[in-house]
């Protein structure tokens, strides 16, 4: 809850900019917003392709796509993507995959999605090195504590693995299963293409939705710079464990768009419209779909 509280404090302090951004929403061009909605719908297709590419067994396509739509709603109930992970883990086990293989497929999906997002970010940074001041995405003095915290977590994890035999055995068994699944997937070109193609398409479509929303509100930032701002912001807030990134994503996106050269009020309006399209409008239908899938024992 702490990140949400901090974002609320910042919103109160910047309430004049926030209010101006809300007023600016009335100037949006609806065709561009509809295109952003279409790009958002395609993200669920990309997620379904990546999920299928992470397992050798063929999953039922219609139910897989519906599960990705429902997982989006579940993702806003638990932090750091745990909701979507739990829904997909249950779906794969219902489809007949053992729990160990389902967990390995989930880990492979998360790895591929992270690699795809960072790869796109790196490519845009190389193509447009001066488009974004990355230091503006993090508070002053944040890098040092973050590195110390990361090192502390790694040291604790290494200590637990060294001293607790049961944990060491469980982790070793999981790694063997995960590596075996990864090898099996990559021996099939169609699965490998779905895995890595979907992992690149998913963040690209998310960035496209933001670019289209920016066009709808007349944000004076080049499309490539907006995409770069989106990828940098989402990578920067990946370690902030708020449910669905609520609060932290909005704050980071506004800062990133301003760092890319956009006016604060227009950037705020763009982020508000983007989150309405990608989070709030699909939330109720996604929750209803989730409930229906549970009742039908699909998950």
**Residues 157-190: tens digit of each pLDDT:** 777 667 777 777 776 777 777 788 888 898 999 9
Rama region for 95: left / alpha / beta (φ>0; ψ in -120 to 50; rest): alpha
CA distance 101 to 32: 41
Which one, of 105, 109, 89, lies nearest residue 299 by Cα? 89
* Mean pLDDT value across residues 27-53: 93
* Mean pLDDT value across residues 82-106: 89
* Mean pLDDT value across residues 7-27: 65
CA distance 3 to 241: 8
Which residues, other chains included, contact 42 with Cβ-Cβ below 8 Å and sequence gap of 6+? 201, 205
pLDDT at position 4, please? 56
Dihedral, CA atoms, 110, 113, 118, 122, nearest 10 degrees? 160
pLDDT at position 74, please? 83
Residues paired with 243 in a beta bridge: 79
Whether the pLDDT of residue 206 is over 80: the answer is yes
Which one, of 277, 265, 264, lies nearest residue 211 by Cα? 277
CA distance 62 to 285: 16
pLDDT at position 123, please? 92
Which one, of 234, 41, 141, 205, lies nearest residue 242 by Cα? 234
pLDDT at position 76, please? 73
* Mean pLDDT value across residues 130-138: 61
* Confidence band of 146 (pLDDT split at 50, 70, 90): low
Residue-wise pLDDT tens digits, 238-297? 666 555 556 667 778 888 888 888 888 888 889 888 988 888 888 889 989 999 999 999
Asked if residues 88 and 50 have their Cβ atoms less than 8 Å apart, the reply is no
pLDDT at position 256, please? 86
Whether the pLDDT of residue 69 is over 90: the answer is yes
pLDDT at position 255, please? 85
Whether the pLDDT of residue 134 is over 70: the answer is no
> What average pLDDT does the chain have?
82
Whether the pLDDT of residue 149 is over 70: the answer is no
Question: What percent of the chain clears pLDDT 90, i.e. is strictly above it?
Answer: 37
Q: Which residue has the higher pLDDT, 79 or 99?
A: 99
Whether the pLDDT of residue 148 is over 60: the answer is yes
Dihedral, CA atoms, 178, 293, 283, 54, nearest 10 degrees? 20
């Amino acid at each position: 809850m702490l990140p949400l509280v901090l974002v609320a404090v910042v919103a109160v302090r910047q309430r004049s900019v926030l209010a101006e951004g809300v007023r600016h929403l009335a100037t949006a061009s609806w065709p561009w917003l509809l295109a952003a909605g279409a790009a958002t719908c395609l993200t669920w297709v990309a997620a379904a392709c990546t999920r299928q590419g992470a397992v050798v067994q063929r999953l039922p396509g219609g139910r897989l796509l519906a599960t990705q739509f429902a997982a989006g709603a579940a993702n806003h109930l638990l932090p750091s993507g745990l909701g979507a992970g739990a829904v997909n883990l249950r779906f794969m086990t219902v489809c007949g995959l053992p729990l160990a293989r389902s967990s390995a497929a989930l880990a492979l999906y998360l790895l591929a999605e992270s690699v795809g997002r960072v790869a796109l970010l790196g490519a845009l940074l190389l193509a447009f090195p001066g488009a974004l001041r990355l230091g503006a995405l993090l508070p002053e003095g944040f890098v040092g504590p973050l590195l110390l915290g990361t090192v502390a977590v790694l040291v604790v994890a290494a200590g637990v693995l060294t001293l607790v035999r049961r944990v060491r055995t469980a982790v070793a068994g999981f790694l063997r299963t995960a590596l075996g699944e990864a090898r099996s997937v990559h021996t099939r070109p169609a699965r490998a293409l779905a895995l890595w193609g979907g992992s690149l398409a998913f963040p690209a479509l998310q960035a496209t939705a933001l670019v289209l929303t920016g066009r709808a509100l007349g944000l004076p930032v080049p499309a490539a710079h907006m995409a770069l701002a989106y990828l940098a912001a989402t990578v920067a807030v990946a370690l902030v464990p708020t449910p669905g990134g609520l609060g932290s994503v909005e704050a980071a996106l506004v800062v990133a768009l301003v760092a890319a050269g956009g006016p604060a009020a227009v950037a705020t309006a763009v982020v508000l419209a983007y989150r309405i399209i990608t989070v709030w409008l699909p939330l109720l239908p996604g929750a209803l779909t989730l409930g229906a899938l549970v009742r039908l024992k699909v998950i």
